Amino acid sequence: MTSAALEVVRPGALTTVQDLGRPGHAHLGVPRSGALDAGAHDLANRLLGNGRDAATLETTVDGVGLRALAPVTVVVTGAPCAVRVSGRPAAWGAPVRLGAGAELEVGRAESGVRSYVAVRGGFAVPPVLGSRSTDLLSGLGPGVLTGGAVLPVGPTGPDPVLGADALRVPGAPSELVLPLRLGPRADWFEPASIAALWRAEFRVSPASNRIGLRTEAGVRLARSRGGELPSEGMVLGAVQVPPDGLPVVFLADHPVTGGYPVVGVVPLGPALDAAAQAGPGVPVRFVGVRGGRWAKGSSPRGS
């Protein structure tokens, strides 16, 4: 009898295996990694009765094609897209049964950037440091998907129990609003630049990737002091400002250290999930928060 597995028919532009990542290894130089849109990853697993840590596939822009080598149940969440099974339309955002030999085609993102494909039982590729995530920066975990690769499926658990809120799927942002807690190096920037930060409208740069969301246009933050920092620890959501003055928001595959000053940090949560779905050209604004409240001089408009 064939073990449950999915064969890669079409790998897509950039499809990786992701779970909740491998936090806790920064002291070893290992990034956190994991699904960029954690909410979409969680929802996909919830719809199938998987645990939150079950591995999914994260596609980028143009989806992926898979062939079932044995009967499996799958679901697609994240960026909305056309879903087909052996050429016939199938549901997006709901479990779909694949018979042995059936081909799942996850199409191009209609809005947003990244779709998530989950299978009941999870993708059971070998874990590295406790995670099955592909880390593009360090090279840990399974490689980027290639045609012909076979992805084993883990054992299934109890049938899923879905609540009324199971299909609350946020759409891709038309404007990305990022809450920002200033520090630890906000004092490296001119007060006028910090004030301008709250009023500026940036755009998502096409150079953005799993390492960081780069910005373009907007205001260039001017430093109040010269010199450079010694390398110091970086966290998910840190907003680093390189010499060109345009903020970079660190995402899941970010380096664990860096020498450019961090003007502030975007807290973990829905805002970083939205950043995973913000494509090139999407407007970006920062709104200041301190202790859960809007910081003086910032504006919550549009949030």
pLDDT for 293 equals 40
Mean pLDDT of 38-66: 96
Q: Strand pairing partners for 266?
A: none
Predicted local distance difference test score (pLDDT) of residue 292: 43
Does residue 299 form part of some domain?
no
174 or 2, which is more confident?
174
Confidence of residue 169 (pLDDT cuts 50, 70, 90): low
- Structure confidence at residue 64 (pLDDT): 98
The tally of domains found in the chain comes to: 2
Specify the pTM: 0.91
**For the chain, what percent of residues have pLDDT higher than 90?**
82
Same-domain check for residues 289 and 190: yes
Q: For residue 115, is pLDDT > 90?
A: yes
Please tell me whether residues 214 and 249 are part of one structural domain: yes
**pLDDT exceeds cutoff 90 at 218:** no
What are the φ/ψ torsions at residue 14 (nearest 5 degrees)?
A: -160, 100
274 and 240 co-located in one domain? yes
Q: What separation in angstroms does the CA of 13 have from each of 102, 118, 160?
A: 22, 18, 31
Q: How far apart are the first and last CA of the chain?
A: 53
Q: Classify 247 as helix, strand or coil.
A: coil
Domain boundary, last residue among 152, 168, 196: 152
Domain assignment present for residue 163? The answer is no
User: Are residue 12 and residue 144 in the same domain, yes or no?
Assistant: yes
Q: Flag whether 47 is in a domain.
A: yes
Give the pLDDT of residue 156: 86
Contact 63, 57 (CB under 8 A): no
**What one-letter code names the amino acid at 278?**
A
pLDDT at 299 over 50: no
pLDDT at 300 over 90: no
Asked if residue 301 has pLDDT above 60, the reply is no
Quickly count: other Cβ atoms within 10 Å of residue 201's Cβ: 13
| 173 DSSP 8-state letter | P
Instruction: Please indicate, yes or no, whether residues 147 and 205 belong to a single structural domain of this protein.
Output: no
C-alpha to C-alpha distance for 268 and 252, rounded to whole angstroms: 11
165 inside domain: no
- Domain at 227, CATH number: 2.40.100.10
Which residues span the domain enclosing 267?
176-294
Task: Centre a 10 Å sphere on the Cβ of residue 260 and count the other Cβ atoms it contains.
Answer: 18
For residues 229-238, average pLDDT: 93
Task: Say if residue 146 is in the same domain as residue 190.
Answer: no
The residue among 93, 96, 102 whose CA lies nearest residue 66 is 102
Task: Provide the H-helix boundaries in 176-262.
Answer: 191-199
**Tell me: the pLDDT tens digits for 4-46?**
999 999 999 999 999 999 998 888 888 899 999 999 999 999 9
111 and 202 in a single domain? The answer is no
State the Cα–Cα distance between residues 303 and 298, nearest whole angstrom: 12
- The residue out of 119, 152, 185 marking a domain boundary is 152
Average pLDDT over residues 151-169: 71
